[in-house]
Every structure is written in C-alpha cells, then in structure tokens.
C-alpha cells in the first residue's frame, strides 16, 4: 500500500450484498476507505497490515453488522403543511380519488407549498430528511411536484439541493411538474403539459434536475401527455421514471420501459405485458408499501411476475404528506415483507443495490472495493432484524463517503 487510508472499520460482520444471492456475509469483516471510496472489503484476517498501521482513524465496531448505506429512491420529502385531516376522512370512508376530486389531495399540499418561502420550506423539510438519515439512509431522491408553476417548482428543487448539502447525504432531484393539474389550468391539461416541458428545459439549464417523473393515472395525466414530457426529457438527455399503474392498468409501466426508464413506481396494477416490457428495458420496479398500507389497498403488485422475469424490485418510503407519511425506510422494508411477502434479503437488496439502480447510480448500493464508502453499522445479530423490528433505533452509526453523519 502506497498511501494511508482515511479510515478502517473492524469488529463487525459485513452484509456486502455483492453478488446475486444471499447477503454476501463476511464474518469478522473489515472495511477500509480513502477519498470517499472503499479500498478494502473483506475478512479482517485478510487486511494487508495491522489496522492502526493502515489508517490513523480506526473504528472498532464492537459487534453488530454493517450494510451498505440505504437508498430511498422515491420521496416527495419537500413540502409544506400536512394532510392529517384527509387521513381522518379516509378512515371515515372517503376514497383517495374522492378527496382529490373535491380539491384535496395533491392540490391541498400545492396551496401550502406555494405559500411557503424557501427558508420556511427548508425548515419544514429538513427534519424529515434527518429522520431518514437517522435510520440508515445515505442517498435519497427528492421530487418536486407540489409547486406546479415555474417559480415554485424551482424553489422545491433548490430546497432539495440544500438538504443534501446541509446533511452530507446524496440527493438526486426529480422534476415532477406533471404531478397534478393546477387550478389555473383547469380543463387545459394539454396546455399545462406544454408549460411543463418549457419549465423542464429551464430548470435543467440551471442544474436543478437529475431525472423526470410524471403521474400517469386517471386522476393524473394520460399516456399521450406523459409521452410528451418524456420526449422533452429525452431531448435534454435526462432519464425518466414514472408513477405507473397505481390505481389502474393504464399502460404506464410499458410506456416508461419504452423510453428505457430508470423505474416504474407503485405498479400494483401492471399487466404481464408491462412486466415483460420492463424486463426487456432493464427498468426497476419500485415498490411503495407505505402508500399501499395507508390507502388500505388490496391489489398486490405482480411480484411473482417480477421474479419470474428477473425485474429488480426496489423498496422506497414514498414519503409524502397524503398517502405515505413514512419517515423510515427500514419501516418500509418491514411493510414490504408483511404486505408484499418479500424476504428480508429482497427488502434489503431493494433498499440498496436495486434502489441505487433505480436512481441510475452504479457507484453505491453494495460493500465493494471502489464503490462509495456509504455504510451503516447496525446494532443487530442478523440482517433479517432490519425487517423484523417495528421501529426503534437500530443504527449505531451512519457514514457517507467515509464521513460519519450520525
């Protein structure tokens, strides 16, 4: 070794997830890193020298397990206000669609978000990001979509960038201008989609957009309108993803696959043809059990078809004020196991390897030499405990790029 490492961790088991099956477990493992990337992942006995001679900073973990940093690949974390009253309405019998059509739902949050200045929006959103970080998240996606005009969408994306800079976590921003039809464009959806495409070009030019999303649904936007947004994204060289087939099979998964999209998200009603299209395109299925749970849905995603066609399945919080007020990705893993019957290994891969792929990131999601030194030290005796416990603090330490964040 010619250069000293920045840090070494010893004294814990490793769930590397570096391979096609199993946890990739290494008992009595060790990690080394320099300049934010792993320089060593393996058994402690295979270290090239004594830990204290390899790096000045040596962490004796004292037991437990280390996994890759978790990746939350679908959140609406930046917003103002809350929608607790709608939660109560649903418990009293109102449906999600009924609430949305009566002026609630997404448009309720749009009104609150438009009324908040940037500092207020940042102050309200930062604690939600801190909660995810405290439970092991080192990378997260944050969507816009509660502004629905140029200035307010810009403010949301700026706040998302600020959150990443403030906390030291990786943040990928997704432009979701085609989230809902704002009231000022009532009955003029095609005209609004034209504006969305114009805003996308401007916001991308300002360096605020990493990917593009849309809500393709009967209470959202049609396939033809979504296609226009995707074509605008493709012209700018931006990857796409989609809220697809959540409430009905509208062909959304097949559409995003047609564009080589990163992911199709929700996918409860996706057809076998849609699954096959995703498999051919390499599009990840992002499962959102928080929304499934809160909305008390009964239509399961086509999990057996995803497995049969080897479609990678990611798991995310879908953190949002209306249908998934979920502030723990580990809790999303538990819900995915309980509602969708994922195995704990599938759930962990879904929040690391496959979630990173759903964001187009190939530099994280596993413990492997050369990847980003994002890792979490957990107070557990077996990786399955991450999905077993209903809440409670399990993360001893969270590192991103080799730096301890909490």
Positions in the chain whose pLDDT score sits under 70: 1-2
What backbone torsions phi and psi does residue 304 show, to the nearest 5 degrees?
A: -65, -35
185 is in an annotated binding site: no
As a whole number of angstroms, the distance between CA 123 and CA 222 comes to 35
Q: Give the model's pLDDT for residue 91.
A: 87
pLDDT digits (tens, 9 = 90+) for 276-296: 999 999 999 999 999 999 999
- The pTM for the full model equals 0.96
74 is in an annotated binding site: yes
76 is in an annotated binding site: yes
Cα-to-chain-centroid distance, residue 384: 21
Q: Give the model's pLDDT for residue 2.
A: 58
pLDDT digits (tens, 9 = 90+) for 147-192: 999 999 999 999 999 999 999 999 999 999 999 999 999 999 999 9
As a whole number of angstroms, the distance between CA 70 and CA 72 comes to 7
146 is in an annotated binding site: yes
Q: Give the model's pLDDT for residue 19.
A: 86
338 is in an annotated binding site: no
Which letter does DSSP use for residue 82 in this model? -
For tokens 């493992």, the residue is 29
Q: Which residues of 181-215 are buried (b: 16+ CB within 10 A; e: fewer)?
A: bbeebeeeeeebbebbbebbeebbeeebbbbbbbb
227 is in an annotated binding site: no
246 is in an annotated binding site: yes
Residues 6+ apart with CB under 8 A from 244: 216, 250, 252, 253, 255, 256, 264, 265, 266, 267, 270, 274
157: Cα within 13 Å, side-chain hemisphere = 28
For tokens 């929700």, the residue is 266
With the C-alpha atoms ordered 171, 173, 174, 180, is the resulting torsion angle positive or negative? positive
């Amino acid at each position: 070794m010619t250069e000293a490492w920045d840090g070494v961790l010893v004294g814990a088991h490793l769930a590397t997830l570096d391979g096609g099956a199993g946890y990739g477990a290494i008992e009595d493992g060790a990690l080394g890193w320099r300049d934010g990337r792993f320089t060593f992942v393996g058994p402690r006995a295979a270290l090239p020298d004594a830990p204290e001679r390899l790096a000045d900073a040596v962490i004796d973990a004292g037991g437990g397990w280390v996994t890759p940093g978790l990746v939350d690949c679908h959140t609406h974390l930046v917003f103002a206000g809350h929608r607790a009253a709608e939660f109560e309405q649903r418990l009293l019998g109102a449906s999600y669609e009924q609430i949305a059509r009566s002026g609630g739902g997404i448009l309720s949050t749009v009104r609150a978000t438009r009324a908040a200045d940037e500092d207020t929006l940042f102050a309200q959103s930062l604690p939600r990001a801190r909660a995810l970080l405290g439970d092991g998240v080192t990378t997260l996606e944050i969507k816009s979509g509660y502004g629905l005009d140029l200035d307010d969408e810009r403010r949301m994306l700026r706040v998302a960038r600020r959150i990443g800079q403030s906390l030291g976590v990786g943040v990928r921003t997704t432009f979701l201008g085609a989230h809902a039809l704002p009231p000022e464009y009532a009955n003029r959806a095609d005209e609004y989609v034209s504006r969305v495409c114009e805003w996308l070009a401007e916001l991308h030019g300002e360096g605020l957009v990493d990917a593009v999303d849309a809500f393709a649904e009967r209470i959202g936007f049609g396939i033809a309108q979504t296609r226009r947004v995707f074509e605008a994204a493709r012209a700018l060289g931006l990857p796409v993803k989609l809220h697809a087939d959540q409430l009905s099979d509208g062909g959304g998964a097949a559409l995003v696959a047609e564009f080589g999209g990163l992911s199709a998200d929700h996918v409860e009603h996706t057809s076998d043809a849609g699954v096959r299209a995703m498999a051919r395109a390499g599009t990840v299925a992002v499962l959102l059990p928080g929304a499934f749970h809160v909305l008390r849905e009964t239509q399961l995603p086509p999990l057996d078809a995803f497995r049969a066609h080897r479609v990678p399945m990611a798991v995310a919080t879908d953190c949002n004020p209306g249908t998934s007020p979920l502030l723990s990705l580990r809790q999303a893993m538990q819900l995915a196991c309980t509602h969708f019957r994922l195995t704990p290994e599938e759930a962990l891969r879904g929040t690391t390897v496959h979630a990173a792929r759903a964001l187009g990131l190939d530099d994280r999601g596993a413990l492997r030499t050369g990847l980003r030194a994002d890792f979490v030290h957990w107070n557990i005796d077996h990786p399955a405990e991450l999905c077993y416990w209903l809440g409670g603090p399990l993360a001893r330490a969270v590192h991103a790029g080799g730096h301890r964040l909490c």
